[in-house]
Amino acid sequence: MSENVSALEPAQHEEGDKRRLFLVIADDTPDALMRVLGVASVQQTRLRALSAQPDGAGLSIRLELDDQGDERAQTLAARLSACPAVRGVGFGWR
């Protein structure tokens, strides 16, 4: 391992390596996470980080994806919003 890289420090993103962050609030059902991931998969997104945790009566899902442009991000947000288990979607830059 290089002396400039620590095993405990996350790798830094390159300047051109833009990412989108999607925050999804869904029903806390056994299949909610899989439904959200299925939509992201069909849209051929490149998942870089994922976290999901119960939040009150719902499920809070955080998806970090490679940026594929504004139009693709808006399309993904619309498709996620149309998913039966999803209550709300927000997205922005990471």
Q: Give the type of residue at 42.
A: V
Architecture of the domain whose range is 19-93:
2-Layer Sandwich (3.30)
Token code pair at residue 67: 């940026």
> Which range has the worst mean pLDDT, 14-28, 35-49, 50-64?
14-28
Express each pLDDT in 55-92 by its tens digit.
Answer: 988 999 999 999 999 999 999 999 999 999 999 999 99
C-beta of residue 7 within 8 angstroms of C-beta of residue 74: no
How many CB atoms sit inside 10 A of residue 39's CB? 18
20, with CB counted inside 10 A (0-12, 13-18, 19+), is buried
For residue 40, give the DSSP letter: H
Domain ranges, ordered by start, for the chain: 19-93
